[in-house]
Chain A
Amino acid sequence: MRRLGILAFAMLLTLGAAGGAVAQAPIEGELALITPVSKFIHDAALKAFAEYAKEKWGVTLKVSAIPAGTPVAYGRIVEWKGKPEVDIFWGGESALFEKLTEQNLLQKVEISKEAWDSIPAAIGKPKPIPLKDKRGFWVGTALEPYGLVYHPKKIQRLGIPAPKEWDDLLHPKLKGEVAQCAPTRSSSSNATYEVILSMYGEEQGWAWLKKLAANTGHFTARSRDVPTVVAKGEYSAGFAVPSYMAFEEKLAGFDIKFVAPKNAFVTPEPMAILAGARNPRAARAFIEFLLTERGQRVFMERGLFPITPKYRVQGAPGSTAELAVEFTGGVRSYFDAEVSNVYDEGVAAKRSDDLKKKYRSDIEATWKKP
């Protein structure tokens, strides 16, 4: 009887274990994103996660991404009306994530407490930039400054000092030599316009932006085109460029420089799981993975910065991580020193529509190619 009992107990255990494994069927076999974060980053992140899923759960994951500018991505999510074609929305300004939350188009990320707690609530002074949503609908993944870029050879030919601050882009010799993207089409441009308006005040801010437009030779269709035309040498300098986009050009073999001037906006590249997502467990596992050291390294080797103070961009001499540090001006972590920020979420959200309207009427409609 006792032996029988032990046997039965053992059988139960086995069953239990098997049942547990089934119940915990770790993740679905697919994961899809919509994101303004460029292929350079999202491809690498998805690939790293697919490898991780294979190692950890033996799941062969089918990953895909719809690359779309922030406004497009947002618009498509709204159009999908809670029946999304993808699982995750990644990147862009956090204000849009708030708007999606209000429309019940997001679900809580619900990642492990440890992963959640590893991210500080906010960064930056005098205005704090939130790095995760208080209610738990989105979470930051990496830190990324929107700075300026320039082509050293072109700048040298023009005989002007290398630009370091926003004001340097107004140099008279840069007339027709600046490239930028319209704030109506790019979140990095929108955020940087907002930074300028916060720095100089509404009136002087617009005067400044008009001067920049007068120096602008090319309004690109997308923000990603700005570093491209500068790297190629078509134009000498570019305004409001995410660090990794410039670094991608550097890695592609171009001679391009990046600077994050004072008050450059730093985005946490928010990530959220869409309500009605077909692969919620894979989505959750993806976010948790990105917050591990292995996940953060994907970013750190591509010109982005860790979202948590736990890690710093570091690598063997000559590694891409070290190249990234050198490229972005020696910064290894945005938690090492105080981040100066004037971008206020509330103000930005309120001003957003007016900013675009004023851009359309005062800059787009009147701009003439110099």
Chain B
Amino acid sequence: MSEGEAVGAARHPARPAAGRFAAALPALGVVLIWFFLLLFLVYPLVRIFYDAFSDEAGRFTVANFVEFARDPFYLRSLVNSILLGLGTVAATSVLGFAIAFLLVRCDFAGRNLFSYLTLIPIISPPLVGVLGFTFILGRAGTVNVLLEDYFGLTKPVNFVYGLHGVLLVETLHLFPMITLNVVDALAKIDPSLEEAAEGVGARGWTKFRTITLPLTTPGYLAGALLVFIWTFSDFATPLVLGVHDLLASQAYLNIVQFVDRRLFRMGIVISALMVVLAVVFLIAARQYVAIKDYSSLSYSRIARVRLSPVQQAGVIAFLSGVMLLSFIPYLGVALASVGKGWSLTPFPVHYTLQYFERVIVETPKYIVNSFLYAALAVVLCVAVGVPIAWILARTHLPGRGTLDALNTLILAIPGTAIGIAYVRAFHFDLPGFDRGLTSFWIILPLVLAIRRLPYTVRGSYASLLLVHRSMEEAAASVGARGLRSFSDVTLPLIWRGVLVGSLFSFMTSLQEASAVLFLSLGGWETITVGIFSFYIAGSANEAAALGVILIVVATVSLVAINRIAGTRMGGMFG
């Protein structure tokens, strides 16, 4: 050890310039990170608030908000949005909690299979997921056709068109977010706590209420917040289902119609309002309990209750029922991607591969672009996110709290809002060019990187906490300092966490639609933009074929993540 120090000491005077440079490097890195966040996160958000609080001439005004408050239709949209968000949280909570409890605490045939299957609904691609629902549950969907043809129903049952349909679709799509987080939290509860509870006579409901529930609350709340914000900002689902009186729908519809400048501004105002509301909910949730719960990172050995055959049958029937429902979109999308002229029959009558041919052979750019942007976004995420995690976990730099808050804020910003913010913020001509950043495709990986940054930060942060400081201290004692110790000691130990975070960022970047939709120009289309433009062009079949491709890619990523991360996936969402 002393030898190591001697060598280190001997080296430094020999290359003073390099030494000074190495010492300046971390500082430079910190500056760059702040610059990145200020430019690509804070500035665009400031810009939409500026837009929301100014008129066409750029003067300050609150007239836009007054107009919002006076318009009964907008107010109805606001109320509906909040109700829908809360309703979805309630529905996903019941479903998600029940499933998580069964998976963690009970033992039954097929438990492992079900814990895999529970993840599947999350990868439902935007837009086509809901289309899949309409193919099966729509007025002319499989179920209604069967009811009409074989059970003499004369009018189709309206399963999906309306607010109740949005609730159904969002619930079946998002309940795994709750399940994953609760599974994660349940797995961390030390069994001795519950044993202690039982020791003092608390059983059943009392034990659940006093021990289990409080301990799973942080993880659960993180999931619930994500469910709320997702539902709150999703415009594709309600639009396909003909529901326009929601904030997200109104923001989208008002902004995509540029002709009426007043409506356009209202769209921006609504986006700004959505950011505010999302942040309010975020703060409220944090107020209740610190959302990030990394305190116990060790997973406890769990004693599972072995169920009787009858109970097992019940559990399996329940889980199969839920899975069956949440597989509806996949069935619908798969059928639509190969079915031709499918109308008023339970299943397509004619089958073809022409849609796959078209999207793979004629328009491979969708797939190429998606992979390129998602990969670049991940590189950016790692370049910015890992150092942020390191700053949060290992340093006492000023501004850490802000850094952490910004990182959490990203999770709360609706995709539509950030897309609009970028359009407004980066249209000015870049110095040396006669066009703005919005004219260069690099803006897409940039917006994706910002959107997905929290996953990388969270994944890396959690891993960093697991790497005991003594390891780095040992490295330091043999002369490896700063960056050197980071690259030689810390990085090899946390790569797994970084990789999981990156893969997750990659998968979700591929699926991002709302933020990129407004920014995409001809030739830049990703798979999700392709899904939208095929759908807009009336080719639901091609959209479905692209959707199937996206599902396959996402499934592969998910399996990879699961292999690497084990049960720790839940931490990603918190």
Task: Give chain A's interface residues, CB within 8 Å of chain B.
Answer: 32, 38-40, 64-67, 69, 71-72, 74-76, 78-79, 83, 85-86, 96, 151, 153-154, 184-185, 217-222, 224-225, 227-228, 231-235, 245, 248-249, 252-255, 353, 356, 360, 364-365, 369
Contacts and interface: CB of A to CB of B under 8 A. Distances in A.
B240 A233 contact: no
Contacts of A78: 258
B96 interface: no
A151 B439 CA distance: 43
A232 B138 contact: yes
A332 to B, nearest CB: 25
Nearest to A252: B341
Contact of B140 (A65, A71, A234): A234
A193 B91 CA distance: 41
A365 to B, nearest CB: 4
A71 B258 CA distance: 6
Interface residues of B, number: 41
Contacts of B397: none
12 contacts: A32-B522, A64-B522, A66-B522, A71-B257, A151-B344, A184-B263, A228-B538, A228-B540, A234-B138, A235-B139, A252-B541, A369-B162
Contact of B257 (A67, A86, A185, A353): A185
Contacts of A76: 258
Contact of B538 (A32, A184, A225, A360): A225
A71 B259 contact: yes
Given A71-B258, A218-B161, 18 more contacts: A38-B536, A40-B537, A40-B539, A69-B257, A72-B258, A79-B258, A79-B427, A154-B344, A184-B257, A185-B256, A232-B140, A233-B344, A234-B140, A249-B538, A252-B539, A252-B541, A364-B73, A364-B244
A69 B538 CA distance: 13
Given A85-B521, A234-B134, A245-B538, A71 B256 contact: yes
Contacts of A225: 538
A253 B340 contact: yes
Contacts of B161: 217-218, 369
B258 A232 contact: no
B493 interface: no
B561 interface: no
Given A71-B256, A79-B258, A364-B73, A153 B344 contact: yes
Interface string B557-574: 000000000000000000
Contact of B259 (A75, A154, A224, A369): A75
B435 to A, nearest CB: 7
A157 to B, nearest CB: 8
Contacts of B340: 252-253
B434 interface: yes
B538 A40 contact: yes
B521 A66 contact: yes
Nearest to A360: B73
B381 interface: no
Interface string B526-558: 000000011011111100000000000000000
Contact of A67 (B73, B140, B537): B537
Contacts of A71: 256-260
A39 B537 contact: yes
A40 B533 CA distance: 12
**Candidate in B240, B537, B540 with the most chain A CB atoms within 10 angstroms:** B537
A248 B540 CA distance: 12
B242 interface: yes
B343 A231 contact: yes
B456 to A, nearest CB: 32
A83 B434 CA distance: 9
A252 B341 CA distance: 6
The 5 closest A-B pairs by CB, nearest first: A75-B258, A253-B341, A233-B140, A39-B537, A64-B522
A221 B240 contact: yes
Interface string B241-265: 0101000000001001111100110
Nearest to A246: B538
Contacts of A39: 533-534, 537-539
Given A32-B522, A67-B536, A232-B343, A253 B140 contact: no
Interface in B465-511: none
B257 A72 contact: yes
Contacts of A75: 257-259, 264
B256 A220 contact: no
B132 to A, nearest CB: 13
Contacts of B260: 71, 184, 353, 356
A255 B537 contact: no
A219 B537 contact: no
A126 B242 CA distance: 37
B72 interface: yes
Nearest to A81: B427
Given A76-B258, A218-B242, A224 B538 contact: yes
B89 interface: no
A86 B522 contact: yes
Given A67-B533, A71-B259, A365-B72, A85 B350 contact: no
B58 interface: no
Contacts of A32: 522
B239 interface: yes
Contacts of B538: 38-40, 224-225, 227-228, 245, 248-249
Nearest to A177: B139
B65 interface: no
Nearest to A70: B259
Contacts of A72: 256-258
Contact of B536 (A151, A218, A222, A253): A222
Contacts of A79: 258, 427
Given A38-B537, A40-B537, A75-B264, A219 B257 contact: no
B294 interface: no
Contacts of B350: 253
Contact of B253 (A38, A218, A221): A221
Contacts of B72: 365
A322 B239 CA distance: 36
B342 interface: yes
B523 interface: yes
B537 A221 contact: no
Nearest to A255: B343
Interface in B364-398: none
A14 B140 CA distance: 70
Contacts of B343: 151, 153, 231-233, 254-255
Nearest to B71: A365
A219 B533 contact: no
Contacts of A220: 242
Contacts of A364: 73, 244
A74 B242 CA distance: 25
Given A64-B522, A218-B161, A364-B73, A185 B258 contact: no
